[in-house]
Structure 1
Amino acid sequence: MTAAAGEQSGARTRKPTARQLGSIVCAILFFVTFTLGVTSIWTRMTVFDSARFAERAERVLDSQAVRSKLADEITDAIINTGPSNLASFRTIIRSTLDPILQTPAFRSIFRRALDTSHDYLFTQSGNTQVINLSESLNVLSGSLQATNPDLATSIPTGTNELLVKIGDQTRGLGLWRIAERLTLAGAGLLLAAGLFAFGTIALGTNRHRSTFALGISAAFSGIVMFVLATIAPIIAGSYANDPDTQRAFVSATEFFVSDYRLYSIWIVGIGVVLCAFGTATAPNGEVVTVRSVIDRLRSAIDRHKPTSQRGQIVHAILLMVIGFIIVIERETVIPLLVIVVGAVLAYVGASQLLSIVGRRSTVTTRSAVLSDVKEVQLNNPTMRVALMVAALLITIGAGAWFTTSDARSQTAANEQRKCNGFSELCDKPLNEVAFLGAHNAMSTAADPGWLFYEQTKSIPAQLDFGVRALLVKTHYGIPTTVNITGANAVITDSIAELAVNPIDQDDQYSNEQQAKAKELQANIKVDPNLRDVYLCHVYCEYGATKFTTALGYTRQFLNDNPDNVIIWFIGDYVSKADTEKALREAKVFDRVWDYDPTAPMPTLGEMIDAKKNIVMISEFSG
């Protein structure tokens, strides 16, 4: 007993060889490079990629805390921007916003706003300093139109209010430089991690211990990633100035890093299996139990327990501090303790499972493997251990694959091209695609001056809700300074129209209404030099929208949503030359598809690729 104890003591005090030190250093470097590599790649793919960032960030709207805080911010911005009477309707506006923030239309607006802000933060040429949600005001106005029309007209739908500002200090961080570095850093770090993993095994004089050390490094890497994913929401919440904002920040960050946290758990699992493999294949190794692990931990603590009075005082103070931290930050510490305890239990279980099929002899693993390679017998114990480890790793890999399938499918769906909202339409010819249309799309209650309207939402809101065919009528109109219908009246220039196309007729207007319109034409003095092209329903006196303004809505929508094709079906009571002039002034002429009746009908994808994704169909001019 004494001799054996002396030999063991001597073995413990024996200095490690250069190879052993090299193996330990490689294991530590593997831990560092693997952790940084996985984190870099995840950051590059989810934070610095604008489409994935916007899509992932859009998911934070699933959080009630985020929606509540965002609704508060939008309400304050509307009241600060609009007329003073809006303050009396705060409760109505706020309650109306709650369901709007859950609609696909708002999520689309929110995603575009985030995409714009991403360009500002993460590209060198970005120049936008805000997250602009002003488009959502059109959706709000449309929703209020049915319940409170007077309030709806007060909503400042034309504002460009910047709701979330990103200061110059943030811009000055030069985050685009980090993005460029991370492009190659992640792959390089993972390559280095692979080399260090090989070095850990190759340099170790005891392959079992080297494998165990590599497993410990992998497990610690997963635990560190888990800690990062756990404290990230807490750090984000610390920047809030009030409890509501804190809850929103914490909830949003938790949504954002959810898959990173899941990856960390699976990495811990891989490390546990490697540790169990190193333990189970050791010759004459004892069966691992929970009690033996606890005994080893207790023995390690006893060996490092301080003996001096000063050391004991420091040790006691550290225990008190750790205890207070656990109590104060229990919501953070408990998940960490759970994953550590779970990893230990998984290690014990995996070790026992592998021990059942493993060897328990004095034959070294190296000679056994060489012998097994020669014999290639599946009933060989080492082969059974290897097969069991492979089965466990495959199970872990399959679990990681399936548990992250939603995130991958969502990413694949984002990366898959969609034309007018559906990938199936990209290869469809134009004449085989159905377009959601709006008749008299310009005639809307959301725009002032329309006495008789057929739509409750403006053209931008119609586009946001999926309308892709706008049926309108163009007329010659002359603006005046006379306010009749809530906006300055526009007088129809019937004489100019008669010179180019038949006079528009519509039985929807009564004889009295038609007579009144003609009376206004005769009695209001106008300047013919101010004549322009307007969208009107027979009589511009009962409502008019300048054609170039409406075309501008289309230009802006296609700039934000380039994978769409929009049809303008125009009942044109103006000349072809004036129509073309308006298209050029609105800067959309170059985006109009040049139709060739002798050529095959283009597909939506071809039109989008050619940036000719506006179709103009004329009733009279051709």
Structure 2
Amino acid sequence: MTRARLSDALALLAGVVLVLAVGVGYLQRSVGDADRFADRATAALRDDRVRTVVAERVTDGLVRQEPDLLAARPLIDATVRGLAGSQAFTDLVRSAARDLHRAVVDGDEDTVTLTLTDVGTVVAGGLQAVRPGLAAKLEANRRVAVVDQGLAGASADVGRVLSRVHAVLIGLVVGWLALLVVALALAPDRRRATVRVGIGTAGAAIVAVVALTPLRAWAVDASSDADARAAIGAVWDAFIGDLRTAWWLCAGVGAVLAAAAGSLLRPMPLGAPLRLLAERLAREPASTAGRALRGVAFLLAGAVVLVARDAVVSLLLTVAGTYLVYEGVRILLELVAPAEAAREPRPAGRRLPRPRRGVLVAGASGLVLVLLVGGGAASTEQTGGAPRATDRCNGHRELCGRRLDEVALGATHNAMSVPLPGWYSAEQERPIAGQLADGVRGLLIDTHYADRLPSGRHRTVIVPSAAQAREDGLSPETLAAALRIRDRLGFTGQGQRGIYLCHTFCELGATPLGEVLADLRRFLAAHPGEVVVVINQDEGVPPRAIVGAVRDAGLERFVQPVPRAGGRWPTLGEMVATGRRLVVLAEHQGATAGQPGAAWYPAAYADGVLQETPYAFGRPSLLTASEHRAASCAENRGTPDAPLMLLNHWVSTDPLPRPSQASTVNARGPLLARARECERLRKRRVNLVAVNFYRRGDLLGVVDALNGLAR
């Protein structure tokens, strides 16, 4: 008898340990991993109450940093509320959650601080159209702490606990197996011991599920603000909802296990356990002490029902659901194989026969059913369908595992030459911000020093040489004429000097470099899965000036250092993970050419980073006709072993570019055929496909084809 009771106790304990192991495994998978922790944090944003609280905290933080914005608080609040559910805002929260997770796990912080970096930039983008002045003030406020809770030194303890979760999980699994083996070894009847294991698993899971209800209530009641309590509840559901489902699944598996093993023992009619329980509760104890204890038990039970109604309802529903699963599986198993004990008594010392195949099939079917139901429930939880931001690199999961020199990017030649006020010709349809939004990931720009004159016009400080003009597709005659026209038009007087994006002459169109870099920073901040390459034709602008402009724009933290010669380029996924998703190259004077600057700004061709094809094509047939493809793919600037290759693919027409010709050469057939031929002849992948009028033809479709992606 003692041996049987010990076996029963160990079997029940095995079920409890299994439930604990499931809980610890959930903790390791969902909270111990930074990416999954961030997934659940962003999933909470789907709840309107969470977005409301976060929007209020962000608005307060922005206004607190700039008190002059107080009068505009209603407008800022409305804008933030509108953005709170957007992809850009969600990406900011995810990045902040990852940083928070790392800080807590490393144990080097005494506060739990969820800080949204670049939130001012994202909100400013939402206000740009209606209040550009207000947007400019918000851009200076780049960081806002949404949560700032002191830990009083507990961060190190949390980090140690999370770092040891894996070892605890292994210990629980080993302990469960040991308890199970010993319980079965000691049991006079192993099937009855298996029933006890199922009952222990189901019972422990029911207790665990029910315990979550008061814990949730305790966490929610910790705040006195109604909106905050609602938000805490939503966050709790996002992080704990799947754990409830996992324990429900444990309860179902325990019930199936108990039913499968119990079907071979003496069956009990439907409702018999409930009747036995009712009879025991109604039976009056014979002793005075027993009656006293019974009365106290009823008083306590009544108090619990009155005080914790939700927990009691949850308990009853959980027990009822588990019992129904048990009864359903038991009835089906009895139909397949009637219980041996029901047919004839078992002689002493005789083993029960092996269960029939039908019993095993039915038991397995019941278990699969429970697993499918549990899996379906888990798939509908808070984190179910949202892909991670880092799962896509430049819009595609397939690109995350490829190095930068293994992918193709759509690029725009003279990206700054657009139909803006003051520009006398254009080679692209939209400004750089619009190009990025459309999917362009390579920008070929020209920088010049220019003086902004009192008239609003710009005067180029350093007139380009004839060689530089030829690189821009200008003949010596056009260059000389432009200089004469400038003198006649009176580009004189004292001006304010700055760095501008111009196409050879700032007199014919100029955009401040700072404005374009600000657009680029806004894009990168709002799209953490995108990688961009910039090639700067630096006409007389030294590296230190470009590096300073990048730093002033807050872009340096996005810049990816360029590998040394022969070094390995990171994958797009690695660039996304580190946040360094911007590559900046100089055509002429890189930082390694004796000019002060930064190592991340090399000379593209001289330092062996980039090689290219020719770029001077006077008519479309030179790019589209098969007999000209070999010549169009010939080596031009750069060294043959440079890791990145630029495909120059535009028609140079003097003095004005023609969109109709771009429609011809950018069409999918000729553009893809030339790119494939250049890859074959040069024996390397095309990485940047640069065109004029990128919206004509099928640039992005060709890039997808080069990357092996369906489009």
TM-score (ref. length: structure 1)? 0.74
Contact 1:593 1:613 in 2 (8 A): no
- Once the two structures are superposed, residues 431-479 of structure 1 have per-residue CA deviations (whole angstroms, 9 ceiling, x without a partner) of 8634487986799x9xxxxxxxx999997x9989976334543223699
Contact 1:276 1:348 in 2 (8 A): yes
Q: In terms of mean alpha carbon deviation, does 132-141 or 393-402 score higher?
A: 393-402
- Confirm whether residue 79 of structure 1 aligns to residue 93 of structure 2: no
Give the alignment of 1:451-490 within 5 angstroms. Answer: 468-470=441-443, 472-476=445-449
Aligned match for 2:494, one of 514, 523, 537? 523
Alpha-carbon spacing, 1:57–1:367, altered in 2? closer, same or farther (3 Å): farther
- Confirm whether residue 296 of structure 1 aligns to residue 276 of structure 2: yes
Contact 1:500 1:575 in 2 (8 A): no
Give the letter for the 1:544 counterpart.
P
Within 1, Cα distance between the matches of 2:167 and 2:220?
31
| Partner residue in 1 for 2:612 | none
| Partner residue in 2 for 1:343 | 322
Within 2, Cα distance between the matches of 1:340 and 1:589?
57
Shift of 1:114: 0.6
Alpha-carbon spacing, 1:88–1:321, altered in 2? closer, same or farther (3 Å): farther
SS of match in other structure, 2:145: coil
Contact 1:500 1:573 in 2 (8 A): no
Alpha-carbon spacing, 1:603–1:549, altered in 2? closer, same or farther (3 Å): closer
Give the alignment of 1:392-411 within 5 angstroms. Answer: 392-405=366-379
Alpha-carbon spacing, 1:441–1:114, altered in 2? closer, same or farther (3 Å): farther
Give the letter for the 1:355 counterpart.
E
| Partner residue in 1 for 2:702 | none
Within 1, Cα distance between the matches of 2:95 and 2:386?
18
Contact 1:442 1:458 in 2 (8 A): no
Within 1, Cα distance between the matches of 2:368 and 2:458?
76
Shift of 1:49: 0.5
| Partner residue in 1 for 2:288 | 308
Contact 2:252 2:370 in 1 (8 A): yes
Alpha-carbon spacing, 1:132–1:514, altered in 2? closer, same or farther (3 Å): farther
SS of match in other structure, 1:475: strand
Shift of 1:261: 1.1
Within 2, Cα distance between the matches of 1:547 and 1:433?
27
Shift of 1:93: 2.0
SS of match in other structure, 1:22: helix
Shift of 1:90: 2.5
Shift of 1:118: 0.8
| Partner residue in 2 for 1:190 | 173
Shift of 1:174: 2.3
Alpha-carbon spacing, 1:281–1:48, altered in 2? closer, same or farther (3 Å): same
| Partner residue in 1 for 2:539 | 573
Alpha-carbon spacing, 1:197–1:156, altered in 2? closer, same or farther (3 Å): same
- Confirm whether residue 544 of structure 1 aligns to residue 512 of structure 2: yes
Give the letter for the 2:222 counterpart.
Y
Q: In terms of mean alpha carbon deviation, does 405-414 or 395-404 score higher?
A: 405-414
| Partner residue in 2 for 1:151 | 134
Alpha-carbon spacing, 1:339–1:161, altered in 2? closer, same or farther (3 Å): closer
- Confirm whether residue 246 of structure 1 aligns to residue 225 of structure 2: no
| Partner residue in 2 for 1:200 | 183
Shift of 1:76: 1.3
Shift of 1:72: 1.2
Q: What are the ranges of 5 or more consecutive residues in structure 1 without an aligned counterpart?
A: 1-15, 373-380, 446-453, 527-531
Within 2, Cα distance between the matches of 1:515 and 1:325?
94
Within 1, Cα distance between the matches of 2:214 and 2:450?
63
| Partner residue in 2 for 1:385 | 359
Within 2, Cα distance between the matches of 1:516 and 1:231?
80
Alpha-carbon spacing, 1:332–1:58, altered in 2? closer, same or farther (3 Å): same
| Partner residue in 2 for 1:287 | 268
Within 1, Cα distance between the matches of 2:109 and 2:502?
39
Within 1, Cα distance between the matches of 2:255 and 2:347?
20
Shift of 1:611: 11
Within 2, Cα distance between the matches of 1:154 and 1:570?
29
| Partner residue in 2 for 1:451 | none
SS of match in other structure, 1:267: helix
Contact 1:119 1:126 in 2 (8 A): no
Within 2, Cα distance between the matches of 1:517 and 1:123?
64
Shift of 1:47: 0.5
Give the letter for the 1:277 counterpart.
A
| Partner residue in 1 for 2:610 | none
Alpha-carbon spacing, 1:584–1:106, altered in 2? closer, same or farther (3 Å): closer
Shift of 1:60: 0.5
Alpha-carbon spacing, 1:415–1:22, altered in 2? closer, same or farther (3 Å): farther
Q: What are the ranges of 5 or more consecutive residues in structure 2 without an aligned counterpart?
A: 421-427, 479-483, 590-604, 606-711
Give the alignment of 1:415-426 within 5 angstroms. Answer: 418-425=392-399, 426=401
Alpha-carbon spacing, 1:572–1:21, altered in 2? closer, same or farther (3 Å): same
Percentage identity across paired residues of the two chains: 23
Alpha-carbon spacing, 1:92–1:368, altered in 2? closer, same or farther (3 Å): farther
Contact 2:446 2:539 in 1 (8 A): yes
Aligned match for 1:355, one of 317, 334, 347? 334
| Partner residue in 1 for 2:561 | 591
Contact 1:120 1:127 in 2 (8 A): no
Q: Which has the higher helix share?
A: 1
Within 1, Cα distance between the matches of 2:35 and 2:18?
26
Within 1, Cα distance between the matches of 2:495 and 2:549?
29
Within 2, Cα distance between the matches of 1:564 and 1:128?
31
- Confirm whether residue 40 of structure 1 aligns to residue 24 of structure 2: yes
Within 1, Cα distance between the matches of 2:227 and 2:110?
30
Within 1, Cα distance between the matches of 2:413 and 2:115?
27
Shift of 1:70: 0.8
- Once the two structures are superposed, residues 33-90 of structure 1 have per-residue CA deviations (whole angstroms, 9 ceiling, x without a partner) of 2122111111011011101110121100111111111111111112212242x22333
- Once the two structures are superposed, residues 272-305 of structure 1 have per-residue CA deviations (whole angstroms, 9 ceiling, x without a partner) of 12222343211xx243221x22221023335685
Shift of 1:23: 0.8
| Partner residue in 1 for 2:461 | 494
- Once the two structures are superposed, residues 534-559 of structure 1 have per-residue CA deviations (whole angstroms, 9 ceiling, x without a partner) of 6578659986345997699599969x
- Confirm whether residue 54 of structure 1 aligns to residue 18 of structure 2: no
Alpha-carbon spacing, 1:468–1:107, altered in 2? closer, same or farther (3 Å): farther
Within 1, Cα distance between the matches of 2:254 and 2:457?
75
Alpha-carbon spacing, 1:462–1:334, altered in 2? closer, same or farther (3 Å): farther
Aligned residues: 566
Within 1, Cα distance between the matches of 2:392 and 2:489?
49
Within 2, Cα distance between the matches of 1:144 and 1:491?
29
Contact 2:446 2:502 in 1 (8 A): yes
SS of match in other structure, 1:591: coil
Q: In terms of mean alpha carbon deviation, does 272-281 or 313-322 score higher?
A: 313-322
Aligned match for 1:90, one of 73, 94, 103? 73
| Partner residue in 2 for 1:265 | 248
Aligned match for 1:433, one of 396, 402, 408? 408
Q: In terms of mean alpha carbon deviation, does 464-473 or 408-417 score higher?
A: 408-417
Within 1, Cα distance between the matches of 2:275 and 2:392?
60
SS of match in other structure, 1:133: strand
